[in-house]
Structure 1
Amino acid sequence: MDAERWWPPFVEVVAIVWIALFVVDVAVTFEVLVVSETVASTVRTVLQWLLVVFLLDVALLYRWSEKGPRAFVRANWFLILTVVPWFRPFRLLRIGRSIRALRLLTGSRRVGSFLNKVRGKCHSLWCRLRD
C-alpha cells in the first residue's frame, strides 16, 4: 500500500513540528518569547490538532499490523506510549537497543566476519567514489 510507505516519514515530520511548537508554547508561557495572544492561541490549537495525527498513527499501524488488539498492544506498547509527543524522544532508546544488539552480534565469529567484510566493501566503494 502506498500510504504505508509515506506515512511514517510524514509522522516524523509532524513530530518535529510538534516539538518546535511545544518549545514556542513553553517559551510564551514563561514569557521568554513575547507574541500576540492570537499567535499563542494558534500555536496551542495546532498542538492539539497534531495530537490527532499521533492518535491516527497508532490506529493506522494497528490496522496495517493484522494482529488482534491484545497482540498489537503487547508487541507495540512502547509505540503506543510514544503517541504522546512528550514521550517521542524515548524512541531514541530503540536505536540504543539496536546498537547493543549489533555489538553482541559482532562478538559472534560468523556475524563479526560478515560485518567486517561489509564494512571493508563499503570503505573501498567510498574510496573509489571519492577519487
Structure 2
Amino acid sequence: MDAERWWPPFVEVVALVWIVLFVVDVAVGFDLLAVSESLATAIRGVLQWLLVVFLLDVALLYRWSEQGPRAFVRSNWFLILTVVPWFRPLRLFRIGRSIRALRLLTGSRRVGSFLNKLRRKCHSLWHRLRE
C-alpha cells in the first residue's frame, strides 16, 4: 500500500512541528516569548489537531500490523505512550538510531560539512531566541 510508505515520514515531520509548537507554547506561558493572544490561541489549537494525527498514526499502525490488540499493545507500548503529547519528545530517542547511522557518514566531507553547518545554525538560532 502506498500510504504505508509515505505515512511514517509524514508523522515524523508532524512530530517535529508539534515539538517546536510545544516549546513555543511553553515559552509563551512562561513569558519568555511575546506573541499576540490570537497567535497563542492558534498555536494551542494546532497542537490539539496534531494530536488527532498521532492517534490516527497508532490506529493505522495497528491496522497494518495484522496483530491482535493485546499483541499490538505488548509490542508497541512505547509507541502508544508517545501518543500522549507530553511524552511525544520521547519519540526522538527512536531518531537517535538514525543519528548513529549518520555518524558513519560523517567521514564524507559533504555530509560532515553539512552537519557542522546545521549545528552552527541551530546554535545561532538558540542564542537569538535566548536574547
TM-score by length of 2: 0.69
Q: Deviations over 1:12-65 (max 9, x none)?
A: 000000000001101111111111110000000000000010000000000000
What is the root-mean-square deviation in Å for CA atoms of aligned residues?
2.3
Count of residues in Structure 1 that have an aligned counterpart in Structure 2: 101
Distance 1:92 1:22 in 2: 14
> Where does residue 110 of structure 1 map in the other structure?
none
> Where does residue 111 of structure 2 map in the other structure?
none
Q: Offset at 1:82?
A: 1.1
Runs of 5+ in structure 1 lacking a partner?
98-118, 127-131
Q: Offset at 1:84?
A: 1.9
Moved over 4 A (4+): 92-97
> Where does residue 22 of structure 1 map in the other structure?
22
> Where does residue 127 of structure 2 map in the other structure?
none
1:48 aligns with 2:45: no
Runs of 5+ in structure 2 lacking a partner?
98-103, 109-131
Distance 1:16 1:66 in 2: 28
Distance 1:88 1:68 in 2: 24
SS of corresponding position for 1:67: coil
Q: Deviations over 1:94-130 (max 9, x none)?
A: 5779xxxxxxxxxxxxxxxxxxxxx9xx9xxx7xxxx
CA contact (8 A) 1:25 1:44 kept: yes
Distance 2:67 2:42 in 1: 38
CA contact (8 A) 2:25 2:43 kept: yes
TM-score by length of 1: 0.69
Q: Cα–Cα, structure 1 residues 40 and 92, in superposed 2: closer, same or farther, change >3 Å?
A: closer
1:84 aligns with 2:84: yes
> Where does residue 39 of structure 1 map in the other structure?
39
Spell out the pairing of 1:1-131 with structure 2 (5 A cutoff).
1-94=1-94
Distance 2:64 2:14 in 1: 20
SS of corresponding position for 2:35: coil
Identity %: 81
Rg: which structure is higher?
1
